Copies of this chain bind each other. A is one copy, B any other.
Amino acid sequence: AAEGGDSTPASPADSSYETLLVSREDNVTTITLNRPLKKNAITNQMYNEIIAALEEAAKDESAITVFTGAGDFYCSGNDLTNFTKIPEDGIQEMAKRGGELLRKYVKAYIDFPKPLVAVVNGPAVGISVTVLGLFDLVYATDRATFHTPFSQLGQTAEGCSSYTFPKIMGPAKANEMLLFNKKLTAAQACDLGLVTEVFPDSSFQAEVWSRLKGYGKLPPNCLLFSKRLIRSTETERLHAVNDAEVERLVERWTSDECFNAIMSFFQNKSKL
């Protein structure tokens, strides 16, 4: 663990992950989604690895944890091929298992005890956007976009966004994203309070990591206790929202509306 500060070299902290890179340096643990050829779309394996990496980061000696993506994309959201392998026990059971995994995934963000920073290095879609409301800071390149096309895909909000987005930006703005598939630019997301600050892509990495290095030197217990004060007033509410969102999505995943919308998505894709 990187207690020593400046002199600690960046090093893979745990090579057991297949879909992530995890490193620790300057009291900062960085979790990098590492499927750049698939725009970092999240497979079931990846959900499980992220949950494990967050659990590890919560316990290590870093002061803050950073989440980012390898390549040009931040994350293209749930890998829709998660839905294409229908198992022997049928679609109902697959939906239940998917719901349980999603519930556990979002819970890992709600309960994460240290400051969690998103370094949004490119376009973000779906669940990689919705959980941003559970992050403590969100830095974005001006190439980033933010898109949650739930109703286009016959689905409904997750990641506690049905609660955090209206709280952050008010319902009149949040519903454009949550109900009506609006894609935000980085500047728009920053105006609405979903993003902390936007940087030109050319200086993005340099500026952001210089700040994060500084944050890593702050008294770690202060950061821990400050986040706990802020989060504790709504932890219970967030868990209830997560449960309600997952329950609804499990119903959605077995509905005709959702089936038709996803079929239509793949058909349009194959036509291109």
Asked whether, in the complex, the Cβ of B229 is within 8 Å of the Cβ of A157, the reply is yes
- From B178, B193, B240, give the contact of A226 (CB < 8 A): B178
How far, in whole Å, are A219 and B155 apart by their CA atoms in the complex? 9
A215 CB within 8 Å of chain B: yes
Asked whether, in the complex, the Cβ of A156 is within 8 Å of the Cβ of B257, the reply is no
A221 CB within 8 Å of chain B: yes
Which of A115, A179, A196: most chain B CB closer than 10 A? A179
How far, in whole Å, are A48 and B18 apart by their CA atoms in the complex? 60
Stretch binding the partner chain, chosen from A70-78, A90-98, A163-171? A163-171
A38 CB within 8 Å of chain B: no
Q: Which residues of B contact A226 (CB under 8 A)?
A: 150-151, 156-157, 162, 178-179
A227 CB within 8 Å of chain B: yes
Q: Which of A172-223 contact B (CB under 8 A)?
A: 172-176, 178-181, 192-196, 215, 218-219, 221-223
- From B137, B181, B241, give the contact of A233 (CB < 8 A): B241
Asked whether, in the complex, the Cβ of A175 is within 8 Å of the Cβ of B222, the reply is no
Asked whether, in the complex, the Cβ of B170 is within 8 Å of the Cβ of A194, the reply is yes
Stretch binding the partner chain, chosen from A8-16, A39-47, A81-89, A244-252? A244-252
Q: Who on chain B is nearest to A140 by CB?
A: B172
Q: For the complex formed by this chain, how many copies does it contain in all?
A: 3
How far, in whole Å, are A178 and B168 apart by their CA atoms in the complex? 16
Expressed in whole angstroms, the minimum distance between the Cβ of A150 and any Cβ of chain B is 7
A230 CB within 8 Å of chain B: yes
Asked whether, in the complex, the Cβ of B195 is within 8 Å of the Cβ of A137, the reply is no
Q: Given A226-B156, A226-B157, A196 and B179 touching (CB < 8 A)?
A: no
How far, in whole Å, are A151 and B173 apart by their CA atoms in the complex? 29
Q: Which of A253-267 contact B (CB under 8 A)?
A: 255, 257-258, 261
Residues of A participating in the B interface, judged by any CB pair closer than 8 Å: 115, 132-133, 135-138, 150-152, 154-157, 162-163, 166-176, 178-181, 192-196, 215, 218-219, 221-223, 225-227, 229-230, 232-233, 237, 240-241, 244-245, 248, 251-252, 255, 257-258, 261
The 4 closest A-B pairs by CB, nearest first: A170-B193, A168-B170, A162-B229, A151-B222
Known: A151-B223, A219-B257. 4 other contacts (CB 8 A): A156-B226, A162-B226, A162-B233, A229-B245
